[in-house]
Amino acid sequence: MEFLLSPSLVFSALLASLYGAVFHFIWGKRWRDLGIYWAVAVIGFAMGQAVFGWLGFSVFMVGQVRVLESTIVSWVCLFVAKWLNV
């Protein structure tokens, strides 16, 4: 149960949710897009955490969260989803 409420997980979820909401605010057209962009942002953020954690590379960390790297991967995933017209 501790893992579900860890500060790193909550902070990551909040950042990814913010990215999905901002992306929808700027480029979204339908309400359905909000859920899709939220899911893409969360998955992209998690991918950034996993890949750069595995590589052992970090530029800017807040606690255990690789903020810069995960943010970049999340935004790239969002733009790819928009490009693919998901």
Helical pair 7-27 and 31-55, crossing angle rounded to 10 deg: 130
Given a cut of 80, is residue 8 above it in pLDDT? yes
pLDDT at 53: 87
pLDDT at 1: 54
Q: What is the pLDDT of residues 30-63, one digit of tens each?
A: 999 899 999 999 999 999 999 998 988 888 888 8
Tell me which H or E stretch contains 62. strand 61-62
pLDDT at 7: 87
Measured distance CA(6)–CA(80) in Å, rounded? 30
CA atoms within 13 A on the CB side of 66: 21
